C-alpha cells in the first residue's frame, strides 16, 4: 500500500507514479495518495501513517541523493559537462542537454536565503513550531529543508547554518540545517 509520498524526481517519473499508483498532485505540489481504496487498509494503519513524515518518492534519478543521506552525505547533482548544480535532481541538464549527470558531496554549509514558519493547518506528521528554510549552500545552489535547534523567532535571513542529518522516524532520515555561529553570514 502506497503511503503519502512526495517526489524529487523529474516530471516524467512523477507522472509515471501518478499513473501507476493512483496518486494525485495536490495544489501545493505534493504527490498524495487518494483515500483508501481497498479493504486491506485499516483506519488504524492510516492514522499511524499520518503521524509520519511524508515518504520521499525515490526513483533512478534521485536514488543517489537518498543513498548519500544514509551514508551521512549531502549529494548535490552536477552536470558532468557544464558543471551546473541542480537540486532537486533533474533527468537532463537543461543547459547543455546531456544525461550524464553526476554529483558532488556538499560540505554542508551555507546561509538561510529565505524561511517560513508554517502554522496552519497543523498536520500530525510535524512537531510544532518548526521552520522551513531555503538554504543557499556554499557550493552555489539552494536546498529546501528544515531549520532546527533554534527558536523560529531567532531565525533570520543570512544566518549561517550547517548540515545535520536527522532521523525523523526509524525508516526516514532527512537533511536539515542548524545555526553555525562560527561561520560568517552574508548580512
Stretch that binds Zn ion, among 3-11, 77-85, 130-138, 151-159 (CB under 5 A): 77-85
Minimum Å gap between C-beta 164 and Zn ion is: 30
Under 8 Å between Cβ of 161 and 179: yes
Stretch that binds Zn ion, among 72-80, 102-110, 118-126, 177-185 (CB under 5 A): 72-80
Cis omega (within 30 of 0) for bond into 88: yes
Site string for Zn ion, 87-106 (x = CB under 5 A): ------x-xx----------
Minimum Å gap between C-beta 111 and Zn ion is: 25
Cα gap 25→109, rounded to integer Å: 32
Alpha carbons within 13 A on the beta-carbon side of 42: 3
Using CB under 5 A, pick the residue from 34, 81, 114, 156 that binds Zn ion: 81
80 touches Zn ion (CB under 5 A) = no
Under 8 Å between Cβ of 170 and 157: no
Which stretches does DSSP call E strand in the chain? 5-7, 23-25, 31-33, 55-57, 75-79, 85-86, 101-105, 109-116, 131-137, 142-147, 160-169, 172-179
Minimum Å gap between C-beta 96 and Zn ion is: 4
What grid cell was written down for 127? 512537531
**Binding residues for Zn ion restricted to 95-154, rule: CB under 5 A:** 95-96
Using CB under 5 A, pick the residue from 1, 3, 63, 82 that binds Zn ion: 82
Minimum Å gap between C-beta 156 and Zn ion is: 34
Binding stretches for Zn ion (CB under 5 A): 79, 81-82, 93, 95-96
Amino acid at each position: 500500500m502506497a503511503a503519502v509520498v512526495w517526489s524529487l524526481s523529474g516530471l516524467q517519473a512523477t507522472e509515471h507514479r501518478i499513473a501507476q499508483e493512483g496518486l494525485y498532485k495536490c495544489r501545493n505540489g505534493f504527490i498524495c495518495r487518494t483515500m483508501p481504496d481497498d479493504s486491506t487498509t485499516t483506519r488504524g494503519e492510516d492514522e499511524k501513517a499520518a503521524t509520519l513524515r511524508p515518504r520521499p518518492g525515490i526513483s533512478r534519478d534521485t536514488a543517489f541523493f537518498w543513498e548519500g543521506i544514509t551514508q551521512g552525505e549531502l549529494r548535490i547533482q552536477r552536470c558532468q559537462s557544464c558543471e551546473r548544480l541542480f537540486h532537486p535532481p533533474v533527468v537532463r541538464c537543461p543547459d547543455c542537454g546531456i544525461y550524464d549527470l553526476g554529483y558532488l558531496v556538499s560540505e554542508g554549509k551555507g546561509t538561510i536565503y529565505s524561511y517560513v514558519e508554517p502554522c496552519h493547518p497543523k498536520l500530525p506528521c510535524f512537531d510544532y513550531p518548526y521552520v522551513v528554510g531555503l538554504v543557499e549552500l556554499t557550493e552555489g545552489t539552494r536546498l529546501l529543508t528544515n531549520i532546527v535547534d533554534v527558536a523560529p523567532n531567532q531565525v533570520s535571513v543570512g544566518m549561517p547554518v550547517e548540515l545535520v542529518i536527522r532521523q525523523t522516524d526509524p525508516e526516514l532520515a532527512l537533511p536539515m540545517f542548524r545555526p553555525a555561529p562560527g561561520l560568517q553570514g552574508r548580512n
